[in-house]
Amino acid sequence: MYRILIVEDDRGIAEAIRTQAGMWDLEARCVRNFRDVMAEFSEWDPHLVLLDITLPFFNGYHWCSRIRQVSKVPILFISSASDNMNIIMAMNMGADDFIAKPFDGSVLMAKINALLRRTYDFTGAVPVLQHRGALLNTGDNSLTYQGKEIPLSKNEYRILLTLLESKGSVVSREKLMEKLWQTDSFVDENTLSVNVGRLRRKLEAAGLAGFIETKFGVGYIVK
């Protein structure tokens, strides 16, 4: 199920969008803390963001820019400030689309679903897995966070790929060793522990502390 983050301070509009999204089998959350939208963005890890321009504390352009520093997630602006200048500004800041208020709920859902299809269903040969702003590109095996690439060994990449593919679930040590066994070298439990430890240190050095959590006696999970 795709997750939508609604950054809209009109509670009536936000809740109406959330309810309609649920009718389209989309899981939506409305931002509560407009002082720190990025905290809720990181926690929810959405597949798409709906973003108003006029917000408390910081406007939508500010949050669009902040999101674009860490993520390529689709951003759809929803605003009554729909003159050409605001639309151009939104697109230049990194938005993917713009819909003017008042809007028809069905039209909004059609735009949302079109963006989701283009982004996640037809990604071609280079799909990207995302978590907490970290982007794992399975096309070139690269990991980036806040615009910087984090170098990964072949085993570290396979470990992270397996964990991200099972995001929200614990991955057993046995499954990880099976993935690493696909390489040309024998992998035992000690080798797995060494690789996970090295990967953790790289993530922590890049600002992603606690990214991989150990479930003792079971395996690992991304947090």
The band of 155, judged by pLDDT with boundaries at 50, 70 and 90, is confident
Q: Are 98 and 69 in contact (CB under 8 A)?
A: no
Q: What is the pLDDT of residue 84?
A: 67
Question: What's the rounded mean pLDDT across residues 132-157?
Answer: 84
Claim: this prediction has a pTM higher than 0.95: no
189-205 and 154-165 helices, crossing angle to 10°: 80
